[in-house]
Amino acid sequence: MKYFLSISILLISFSGVKLHAQINDTIIEKVREEYSFERLIKNSITLNPASYNAARKHSITTFNVFTEKSNTPSQLQQKGRGKNLWGAEVYSLQKLDDKTAVWGNASYTQGKNKQVVWNENSDYDLIYPYVAADSVGGDMKFENYSFSGGYSKKINTYTLGITGSYQATLSYRDIDPRPKNTAAHFSLAMGADKLVFGKFRVGAYANAEKYTQKHYLSFVCNQGYPMIYNMSGLGNYNELLSGKLRQAYYEGWSYGGGLQIFEADSRNWYLNMGIKKFNLDKLLTEYADLNASKINEQQFTFSAGKFFNSGKTVWGISAEGNSTERKGIENLFLNENSRNYIQIGSVEKYNHKINSIIFKGLIQMGNEKTKSSLIPFFGWIQEKEKYSSPASRIELSKLMYGADYQWLKTFNHQQILSVVAGLSATNVYQKNALFNNSVKPAINSMLQENYAFQSSDFWQAKLDVHFHFSFPVVKNAFVGGKIMYSNFKTGSNTLLAVSIGSIF
Amino acid sequence: MLKHVLKTLFILCTVMAITACSSDSNEALEAKTSLKLELKVIPENIQVKEYKNLTISFKELNSGFTITQELKNTNVLQVVLPSGTYNITAEGSIVYGDNSGSVEAKVAGVQNGMVINGSETSKTLELALKSGNSSDLILEEIFFTGTKTPQGAMYFGDQYFKITNNTDKTLYADGMLLIQSSFMTNEKQDYSPNIMATTLSAGAIIRIPGNGTMYPVKAGESIIIAEDAINHKNFNPSSINLSNANFQIFKEDSDDIDNPAVPKMVNVFDKMVIHTQGYYAYALARMPQGMTHETLVAQNTYTYTYNLTINGDVYPMDGTAVKIPNEWITDAVNLSVQDSFQWQVTSPSLDMGWTSVTTFDGDKNRFGKAVRRKVTGKTMEGKNILKDTNNSTTDFEHGVKPSLFN
């Protein structure tokens, strides 16, 4: 928390330097650029820090304080039944001159994740399936800090860029079972792009990340405690390691990179391909850092788009695809004596494949006063999760379709209203599951409930309204509200968020 | 135009490539080991004529995977198993003897923590002759958890052992040794010398007094050895009246309760403190004719050593115990807690399994529960016939209401 204030002040003062040179109209243009659907679709190019600066025409600083409340009765039990949080965020991109840019971001969030069961760790999406789990669970409080910064510079036809970020998370519970998880995430990315034939740019980037999570579990009440399972996927667990485990340490590295080619001026066509490898080890600190399990994940991504601009209308199509495969390797042990476990082998038992592709169309019409944008989309997702023995698996194939519509209206006196309405439906047209029958009844009912959610068709509606108005001192302030409703066979999820802030 | 078409084709190709990847089903091969298991009867001087049948059960400790294999007329098993650490139990019957005659006998063997990995491996499992139904007194019930007072406090004085004559003749309890093991079932160490196949290492021994005929136990009848032979209901309404117990455990130099009307057990070696979670094995034994307990302690006391490893640091440790040869033992029961069980502390020929009252260490619901031998029938006189196959896992009820509580 102590760094957050100083970094926010640093970012705001950056933009403060430029404030006197701004005209009021520029603020309206910045707001429009911030909400532009066209910019948001083309944003995948900015994975390369060298290509980050030219994604926007204007420098911008935004600051907002937000609160969010959600109820998710339809969700994986490991992710909880909803969130209550509040936070603050500051973001700034400053074009120092036509060759150089700096940008930075700082945010703080605090809240609680409601009714998280079968997961006593944080960052479930990173460390699954190797979590410490029990049938009791409860609300998990959390605090997140994150800082990031970047710099890019144009040298002749080349642009070079670099970004770094740091994120720290603390999650804990005040009643038994009492987990305390401290996670840290560092990442660094470097890239370059070059103008070719005066028409398009070719870019390449590489990134590396380090992730760690320290996990402690304690019990104050000595009336007894539930069995703590060392989960290894789809309800299976290591019997030798389960029981009284109280500590674990996760350490992971990820490396990646990508290539891109895109039209230089307005990015009206682009192709971006990336690859990322992630390795994570789970170490048991109570047993002299015994390596319990390992994750190897490989991810391919691509995004491509083609847009046409006739002056009044912008239209186009984009595609984004992702293929991820996560392999889990468990180590096998011999309990030589109660305190000394020896590794006698290792076996790869867990495999999770997710393939997805989504096509988005864009139609944008209007003028300075009123702009309408429509993004219809259509996507296909296939997911296969397997555990080799005892044989367990979940296979799902989904089709997703819908549309988002935005109405951006500029009134007199720098008042801008953005209304985004969206509707989508997901249809699980193929589903198949097999679970190990000899697991404990509590684990079996968790697996069945999770599968009922994952295999459920659902539709989703959202409404997002932001209203900007001029305000003394900060020049431009806004209030925003968002409401989202998702209807599953297993129950409805709702989300409500409110934010106030400023763009300058 | 051409560039436009080429770009579109490029995008389509990438899309196809990704969807093509998804139809692969590259299954990771599971590490399996081809195991050759030879079952050997010990001691080696037994001449086996025929291995009639053997049932071998495997349980892998990491995954919980179990499999059972049957052998007929052979003692070599060939099986392919997933690699791991296995607990193996074998039971069956053999025919052994010499030129003068043949005897059919039951055999059993247990091996815990056997590592089976690599592409192929050969292992040996030792089988011991199972002593038939005991012809002496056996442990029918052990109540070791104590009780809880109505206020929720722990109360121990009401622990007891119930020893029963499961035969059809009158037996005498005089001189019977009640033994508590030196090693604990939740703490597995490499104790040296490793004499467990032939000897029970005793950590505490008490002896029923008498000159040989003072304490008869009729067929089907039982005797109670109580921790404190008093009416515990005066101190804890949730407890029982043990003032009519046959014997009491009295520790001389501790502040122990004495009921002058109840004979005291003779303290032979160390102090018997009955662990409220179990964690020890208890056994009944008879010394050979003419041996006194003083001689037993003088001759059979030994020192064992082991290495205690904590966080990678190794500390050499030692302890003292009394050797009780397996031949003297009439009955043995391993006790533990389900989630904390590491190993049996007696030879498998004495007890192949173990029993418990609770699932996890520290369970506050364990109080007022005992382990009791199952009843398989009734004699002509209406007395219970107790199950005794030298396997406490199957012979006992785990965590039931003690018989003296009503």
Q: Which tens digits make up the pLDDT trace of B381-404? A: 888 888 888 889 989 999 889 998
- Given a cut of 70, whether residue B29 has pLDDT beyond it is no
What is the mean pLDDT of the segment spanning B357-367? Answer: 80
Q: How far apart are CA A3 and CA A9, in angstroms?
A: 10
CB-CB neighbors (< 8 A) of B63 in chain A: 236, 238-239, 389-390
CB-CB neighbors (< 8 A) of A135 in chain B: none
Q: How far apart are CA A120 and CA A111, in angstroms?
A: 16
- Given a cut of 80, whether residue B24 has pLDDT beyond it is no
Query: Closest to A353 (Cβ–Cβ): which among B22, B30, B342?
Result: B22
| Nearest chain A residue to B361, by CA | A224
**Maximum average pLDDT range among A63-77, B209-223, B306-320:** A63-77
Q: Is the distance from CB of A475 to CB of A469 less than 8 angstroms?
A: no
Give me A23's structure tokens: 């005209």
- Given a cut of 50, whether residue B20 has pLDDT beyond it is no
Give me B393's structure tokens: 């896992």
Query: Closest to A332 (Cβ–Cβ): which among B14, B85, B188?
Result: B85
Query: Closest to A319 (Cβ–Cβ): which among B15, B187, B188?
Result: B15
Kindly give the pairing relationship between strand B137-143 and strand B370-373.
antiparallel
Query: Closest to A388 (Cβ–Cβ): which among B28, B189, B363?
Result: B28
CA angle, residues A441, A442, A443, in degrees to nearest 5: 90
From the CA of A339, how many Å to the nearest CA of chain B?
Answer: 6
Kindly give the pairing relationship between strand B32-42 and strand B120-129.
parallel
| Nearest chain A residue to B29, by CA | A348
Lowest-confidence pick of A150-154, A391-395, B160-164, B309-313: B309-313
Biggest CA-to-CA distance, chain A: 78
Give the pLDDT score at A4: 65
Give the pLDDT score at A21: 40
| Nearest chain A residue to B185, by CA | A338
From the CA of A381, how many Å to the nearest CA of chain B?
Answer: 10
CB-CB neighbors (< 8 A) of B28 in chain A: 327, 348-349, 351, 388
Query: Closest to B62 (Cβ–Cβ): which among A332, A339, A357?
Result: A332
| Nearest chain A residue to B184, by CA | A338
| Cross-chain Cβ contact A337/B85 below 8 Å | no
- Provide the mean pLDDT of chain B: 85
| Cross-chain Cβ contact B84/A345 below 8 Å | yes
Give the pLDDT score at B365: 80
Q: What is the mean pLDDT of each run of 10 residues along chain A (504 residues)?
A: 62 50 68 88 90 89 95 95 96 92 96 95 94 93 96 93 97 92 97 92 96 92 78 90 85 96 91 96 87 96 93 92 96 78 90 97 90 95 93 95 94 88 96 86 93 95 94 86 95 96 89
Q: Tell me the pLDDT tens digit for each residue of B276-296.
A: 888 999 999 999 888 888 999
Give the pLDDT score at A3: 62
Note if the bond before B43 is cis, omega within 30 degrees. yes
Return the exposure string of B236-252: e unless at least 16 CB atoms fall within 10 Å of the residue's CB, then b.
Answer: bebbbebbebbbbbbee
CB-CB neighbors (< 8 A) of A304 in chain B: 10-11, 14
| Cross-chain Cβ contact B190/A223 below 8 Å | no
Q: Tell me the pLDDT tens digit for each residue of B68-125.
A: 999 999 989 999 999 999 999 898 888 888 777 888 888 888 888 899 988 899 999 9
Q: Tell me the pLDDT tens digit for each residue of A71-98.
A: 999 999 999 999 999 999 999 999 998 8
| Nearest chain A residue to B363, by CA | A224
Q: How far apart are CA A348 and CA A351, in angstroms?
A: 8
CB-CB neighbors (< 8 A) of B8 in chain A: 306
| Nearest chain B residue to A240, by CA | B62
The DSSP string of B20-51 is HHHT---PPPPPEEEEEEEEEEESTTS-EEEE
- Given a cut of 90, whether residue B55 has pLDDT beyond it is yes
- Given a cut of 60, whether residue B25 has pLDDT beyond it is no
Query: Closest to B84 (Cβ–Cβ): which among A273, A300, A332?
Result: A332
3-state class (DSSP) for residue B162: strand
| Nearest chain B residue to A357, by CA | B15
Candidates A334, A385, A436: best to mutate against B (most CBs of B within 10 A) is A334
CB-CB neighbors (< 8 A) of B361 in chain A: 244
Q: How far apart are CA A341 and CA B255, in angstroms?
A: 41
CA-based nearest residue to A346, from A334, A355, A357, A335: A334
Q: Tally C-beta pairs within 8 A across A and B.
A: 130
